[in-house]
Amino acid sequence: MDDHAKPSLVLGIDTGGTYTDAVLLEYETRRVLASHKSLTTKRDFSIGIENVIEGIHIEDPSAIRMVSISTTLATNAIAEGKGKRVALLLIGYDPDLISRFKMQERFATPNYHFFDGGHDLYGREKKDLDLAGILARVNQIKGQVEAIAVSSYFSPLNPEHENRVYKAIASVCDLPVVLGHQLSTKLGSVERATTAALNASLLAVLRDFIIAVRRAMERRKIDAPLMVVRGDGTLMSDEFAARTPVETIHSGPAASAIGGRFLSRLDDALILDVGGTTTDIALITSGQVTVSEDGASVGNYKTSVKAANLLSIALGGDSHIHLGHDQQILVGPERVTPLAYLAWKHPRVAKQLKALALRTWSQATPDWLEYWFLLREPQENLLKSQRDRELVEFLEGGPQPLPEILKHLQILHTAQVGVEELMRQEIIGRAGLTSTDLMHIDGRYDVWDREAAQHAWKVFCQFQFRDQETLREQVWIQMSEMIVHAVVTFLASRPLELGDRQRSLEGTDRDMGRWFFYNSLYQAHPQLETRFRLHTPIIGIGAPASIFLPDVGEKLNSELILPEHHEVANAIGAIAGSVMVEEELLIYPKLSKSGLEVFGYYVQASDERHEFEELGEALAHARTLSQERALGAAIRSGADNPEVTLEELTDGLDTYRIRAKAIGNPRLTR
C-alpha cells in the first residue's frame, strides 16, 4: 500500500488523576480503532503515557499523523506546590494596599519584591523605573530561584517597563523570565501577577513533560506533531505549551467535555465526567464548552487564563469510604487504592481480610481496613527521619494494615508518622474501602478480587450493626446526592450548604434551600411537591459513569446518554478540539499632562505600539494587525487553513479592544 492510500490516524492521550487513557482514531471517518487505560504515574507522567501507548498496539507508527495530549500536570503541580521556585518582581504596585487587603497570599510565591515604576490607565509613566534596584535584587536572588516573573502596573497598556526589565535581567543571568503583559491583556493587576508567577513556576515542569512525551513517541517510532489541550478545550502546539504552560490549567476536564460533545453529537448538554479521583461538571452550549471569562482558579489562586467553566468534586471510583469522628459515613475527599485491587495484587491481603471478617465487631474495627504499601524504593535523601526508614523497611515485606504499622513503630496515631510527604512523592500508597469495592460486591465491575471486597464490607457493616445490603444502598444514595448537589450548585452559580440528611427529612431543618433540595429528591412532604428538572440531557463519560449516573439523571428528571466509547471520552476530546489563537489589541487615547486634551491614539499589541492622530485610523490599523497576528500565530501553533473572526469591544473613555480569533483544524503530517 502506498503512503497516499494509508488512513490518517491520530492518537489522543489524557492523563487523569487515576488513569491515563489513550485512543487511536481514524481522522477522516472519526472512527475509534483502539483504546487503552493505564494507571497514571504522578511521580513521572511519562511512564503511564508509555504504558498506555504500548497498550494500544500500534501496527504502523508511520500512519499516525498527530498526537494530542490533555494533562492535569499544571493543575496538580499548582495544587500540590510542586512548581519551581519563582521570584516575582512587582513594578508600580502599592505595597501598603497589597498588605492591607492581604493580596500577597494570591501571588503564588512567597518571594515577591516591590519596585518603583509602572504606568497609569492611559499608558503614561507613573514613576521612573528603578532599574538599578531591580538588577541589585536579581543579583542577590538569582541563585535561590529557578525563574523570574515580572508584572508592571497597567503593562497591557504600556509594557515598556516590563520589556526594559527583561533586557536588563537577560544581561546578568540566564534564568527564564516571564512578562505579565504577554499572558493577559486584562487590567487586573493581582491576577496578572499571579498568572505570571504560576507560568514561571511551570515552565520547567511542562518542558520536562513534553520532552518525556516526545521520547516516548520516538521509542514507538511515532514522528508526528504533538499538540496540547488548553484549559478551554482548544489545542496548541507543544512549542506554544512549553512557553505558556499556565494555559493548560483545567486541560483534562476541558478535553472530557469536548469528547462528550464529539461522541454524543449534541450541541447542548451537561457533561458529567466520573473518574477515579473526581467528578467534573461542564456545560456545552451551541456546540462549545462554556468558558469562564473571569479566569481560571486553582486552589486559592485566581489567574487571568481563560478556561472551561467547570466544577470538580472529590468523588470517583477510588473515593475512600470511611467513618468520621461522629461515626458518620463519609465518601472522600481522599482517594485511595481499592482493597479489591490490593488483594488481587497481594494474595496475603486477601487472606488477612477473610480472617478479619471472622472476628467480633470489637476486634475488627474499620481502621484494620486501611493499608499502607510500598510503591517504589525511595532514594535515601527522601527519607527525612529514622521513623521514615523504619516504615519503609517494614513495608518492604508487603502491605500492612494501619494498626500493625502503629504497633511496629510504637506510636499511637498516624499524625506521629508524618507520612504525607512520602505519599505525595508516591513512595508509599494508601488503600482502603472505595466505591470500586462496592461495584465489585454488586457485580457491576468485576476485574479484581470480589471476595476480598465482600469481606472488607462485612467488617465495615458489622462494626455499625447494620445490614450489608441496606448500608450499601445508603452509600450509593449518598454519592448520587453529592453529584446532584454539585450540579445544582454549578448551574445555579450559588452555594447550597447541606445539613444532616436524616434531620432534613424529618422536617426539623428550618433552612428553605436544604428543605427544597431534599424534598425534590425524596418528596418527603405530604402536600408539597418540589422537583428539579434539567432541560438539557446529561452526557455521562468516564468508566464508572454507567454506575454512578443513572440515579442522578432520574433525580434531575433528565435523559442520561452514555455514548459508545464514553469510558475514554477524555482521550477522544484531546484530539477532537480545534486549534484556536486569540490576538487582542488595545486602543486608548494619548492625553496631555493635564489629562484634558486628546493628542491622538495608541494601538498597543503585546510587543509593539503604534500612534495615530485619528481614532478611525487607529481602529482600522488594529483590525488589520490583529487579524494578521492571529492568523500567523494560529499557523505556527499547528492550525490548518484557519479562519479569522473579529470582535470589537469598548471599555469606555475612548478605549477599545479589538479581538481577532483564528480557528482551524489541527494540521496533520502528510
* Interval 139-171: pLDDT, tens: 999 999 999 999 999 999 999 999 999 999 999
- In 3D, which of 570, 573, 561 has the Cα closest to residue 543? 570
pLDDT bucket at 651, cuts 50 / 70 / 90:
confident
Task: Judge if 341 and 460 occupy the same domain.
Answer: yes
Q: Grid cell 513521572 — which residue?
A: 44
* Helix axes 569-576 and 251-264, enclosed angle (nearest 10): 90
- Could you tell me if 196 and 334 lie in one domain? no
Per-chain mean pLDDT for the chain = 89
Q: Tell me the whole-structure pTM to 2 decimals.
A: 0.84
Question: What's the pLDDT at 196?
Answer: 95
Domain boundary among 439, 454, 470: 470
Which of 421, 439, 470 lies at the terminal end of a domain, its last residue? Answer: 470
DSSP state of 549: S
Q: Which residues contact 482 (CB under 8 A, 6 or more apart)?
A: 313, 315, 331
Residues 597, 462 share a domain:
no
Look at residue 505 and tell me whether its pLDDT is greater than 50. Answer: no
Q: Give the per-residue SS3 of 211-270.
A: HHHHHHHHHCCCCCCEEEECCCCCEEEHHHHHHCHHHHCCHHHHHHHHHHHHHHCCCCEE
466 & 583 share domain: no
Using one digit for the tens of pLDDT, what is the confidence trace for 386-398? Answer: 888 898 899 999 9
Inside any domain, residue 258: no
Shortest CA distance to 639 belongs to which of 573, 580, 583, 582? 580
**What's the CATH number where 115 sits?**
3.40.50
When comparing pLDDT for 437 and 326, which is higher? 437
Query: Residue 307 corresponds to which cell in the numbers above?
Result: 478556561
The whole-number average pLDDT for the span 12-25 is: 88
Range of the domain at 136: 86-204
Domain assignment of residue 414, yes or no: yes
Kindly state the average pLDDT of the residues 617-640. 94
Give the pLDDT mean for 342-358: 95
User: What would the pLDDT profile of 363-380 be if each residue is shown by its tens digit?
Assistant: 888 899 999 999 888 877
What integer is the mean pLDDT of 181-200?
91
Determine, yes or no, domain membership for 406. yes
Structural domain contains residue 78: no
How many domains are contained in the chain? 3
Same domain, 465 and 599: no
Together in a domain, 326 and 456: yes
pLDDT class for 493, splitting at 50, 70, 90?
confident
Q: Are residues 331 and 459 in the same domain?
A: yes
Choose one of 416, 447, 470: the last residue of a domain. 470
Percentage of the chain exceeding pLDDT 90: 58
> How would residue 85 be classed by pLDDT, with cut points 50, 70 and 90?
very high
Q: Is residue 276 part of a domain?
A: no
Give the phi and the psi of residue 183 in degrees, each rounded to 5: -105, -25
| Secondary-structure percent of the chain, ordered helix, strand, coil, rounded to 5 | 40, 25, 35
Which CATH number is 584's domain given? 3.30.110.70
Average pLDDT over residues 418-440: 88
464 & 588 share domain: no
